[in-house]
A and B are shown apart, each in its own frame.
Chain A
């Protein structure tokens, strides 16, 4: 799929999902085969305000929020078990830099998959939604970091063979995003615009 990054306008895309790739919902939690689930998995929360560099694991009734500027918000979701991982990614590459795995696109995606796997989630069933990566004002600093973040996450998703369902990225405005595990919907709020569900 070709993409055009427009400095001033956000890119919004919803990618159609083939019907055969959406199996029926399963309500019971299946622990990872051959491993103790309690030993491997961290806590899944019902509410999370995901800060810079953070990854939150959301339970099936969970709601996660984040406010994004140049950072990107990535949500990986299992529509069957309804667990999700939500990351607030700051930089495209860890590149021998210090920082937690959630801070960098090249470590966050794999870390999210690993955390979800501990809940018995098959990575092949995961879907992704991507938001953020704005360039909010002119500065001498890392001006195009938003675009770099978007590109880096897309590259990692492709490498992990995770299907991107929808995106709301770029532009010059911040976003408040809210993901609801019960429905799999991601609400995107941008000042001056009608909130959109992707």
Chain B
């Protein structure tokens, strides 16, 4: 895809994902008492072969909260947090000193999964309002693994249909500093078609 065409496509996709990210940011700000906010980083339709390079730190291990998109159509929603970020976020939510992942107990795991649940719910609720579809998240699952490996499974439904995958990536700021966390939305091919038709984005 030409870069000008790619830029035009991204602008169109922002009509859909922009409001969803704003909703997620409001929810996250409330959840963290104003300390963490989100902003849209990029929306890309990228070749499968570039997936490994698309996410900074994707070839490394991170903590990931994964949710299925349920309802009228499907997809995947992933919150990825590096080790420092996971400790920082859990400590922030629980109002205690950050602890490394290896020392976490059930309450820290629950706090991180609930974060994913809150973000996913807000994001999908906004998409529901935009599209008129019923979209809601599954119960969250937490994994700690190579991010690209997890992303491979998340994009599999898209990979069956196409050599390109759509990723909507969001970056986080904690107390006005960028942090190495990512929120990645991978719509199913059906949802992607519905979203694409709603805003007249051409197929890759």
Contact = CB atoms under 8 A, between A and B. Distances in A.
Contact of B59 (A67, A103, A135, A142): A67
Interface residue tally of chain A, by bracket?
A: 20 to 34
Contacts of A138: 68, 141
Q: Which of A53, A71, A141 has the most CB of B within 10 A?
A: A141
A69 interface: yes
A194 B153 CA distance: 24
Contacts of B143: 136-137
Interface residue tally of chain B, by bracket?
A: 20 to 34
B163 A71 contact: no
Interface stretch (A9-17, A108-116, A171-179): A171-179
Interface string B127-150: 000000000000001011110111
A136 B149 contact: yes
Given A137-B143, A174-B146, A176-B146, A70 B153 contact: yes
A95 to B, nearest CB: 10
Interface in A97-135: 97-100, 103, 134-135
Interface stretch (B13-21, B154-162, B170-178): B154-162
B151 interface: yes
Q: Which of A52, A145, A174 has the most CB of B within 10 A?
A: A52
A137 B141 contact: yes
B68 A51 contact: no
A138 B154 CA distance: 10
Nearest to B69: A140
A68 B70 contact: no
A67 B148 contact: yes
Contacts of A103: 48, 159, 163
Nearest to A99: B163
Nearest to A49: B52
Interface in B44-100: 48-53, 58-59, 61, 66, 68, 70, 74, 76
Interface string B17-56: 0000000000000000000000000000000111111000
Nearest to B146: A174
A103 B160 CA distance: 10
Contact of B61 (A91, A99, A191): A191
A174 B149 contact: yes
Given A53-B48, A137-B143, A69 B149 contact: yes
Contacts of B52: 49, 51-52, 67
B160 A91 contact: yes
B188 A141 contact: yes
Interface of B: 48-53, 58-59, 61, 66, 68, 70, 74, 76, 141, 143-146, 148-154, 156-157, 159-163, 188
Given A69-B149, A136-B149, A141-B157, 5 more contacts: A51-B53, A98-B163, A103-B159, A139-B154, A175-B146
7 contacts: A51-B52, A53-B163, A68-B149, A98-B163, A139-B68, A174-B148, A174-B150
Q: Which 3 A-B pairs have the closest CB atoms?
A: A174-B149, A69-B149, A69-B152
